[in-house]
């Protein structure tokens, strides 16, 4: 059940925002690790173009991690150093599925984070996260396309 206050951009403290950004940072670390590994171990001619895209994702996720860490520091808190757990599989479709699920989660969280930043008057931070969100949605599209699916409808997120 989504937290309605957070969903509406309701009032949260700057400390709580920093905590949530640390969760985002842990997801970025997770994404870096997953994309570094999956981009190299995906096998099969049909996966070569997505493997190249995953390498690009890895680099973009590193940029996101740096941007998020900067926001946490700006809020006077210490950026976390621990990634969320990374799942492994020897099946290409499972790897892509893990990535897509994580990106869905990431998109859901950043949408909420933008509302929370705006509720706190942190408009520049909201803008930085919007720019990250644009790339995360591209990642969703790349993965869904590789899986031969439509991008999940996140409009209620």
Binding mask 7-36 toward Fe ion (x if CB under 5 A, else -) reads ---------------------x--------
Residue in 25, 136, 142, 146 binding Fe ion, rule: CB under 5 A = 136
CA distances from 52 to 1, 27, 59, 133, 144 (A): 36, 21, 11, 21, 15
**Does residue 61 bind Fe ion (CB under 5 A)?**
yes
Residue 2 has a CB neighbour count (10 Å cut-off) of 10
Spatial contact of 83 and 33, defined as CB atoms under 8 Å apart? yes
Q: Is 113 in the site for Fe ion (CB under 5 A)?
A: no
CA–CA separation, 135 vs 29, rounded Å? 16
Stretch of 1-9, 82-90, 128-136, 147-155 contacting Fe ion, by CB under 5 A: 128-136
13/42 with CB nearer Fe ion: 42
Task: Give the binding site for Fe ion (CB under 5 A).
Answer: 28, 61, 64, 136, 139
């Amino acid at each position: 059940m989504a937290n309605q206050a957070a969903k509406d951009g309701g009032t949260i403290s700057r400390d709580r925002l920093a905590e949530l950004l640390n969760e985002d940072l842990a997801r970025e670390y997770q994404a870096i690790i997953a994309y570094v590994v999956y981009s190299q171990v995906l096998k099969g001619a049909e996966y070569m173009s997505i493997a190249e895209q995953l390498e690009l994702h890895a680099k973009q996720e590193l940029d996101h991690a740096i941007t998020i860490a900067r926001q946490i520091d700006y809020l006077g808190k210490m950026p976390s150093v621990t990634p969320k757990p990374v799942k492994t599989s020897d099946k290409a479709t499972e790897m892509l599925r893990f990535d897509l699920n994580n990106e869905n989660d990431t998109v859901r969280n950043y949408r909420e984070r933008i509302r929370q930043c705006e509720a706190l008057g942190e408009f520049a931070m909201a803008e930085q996260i919007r720019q990250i969100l644009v790339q995360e949605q591209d990642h969703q599209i790349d993965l869904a396309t590789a899986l031969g699916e439509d991008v999940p409808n996140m409009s209620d997120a």
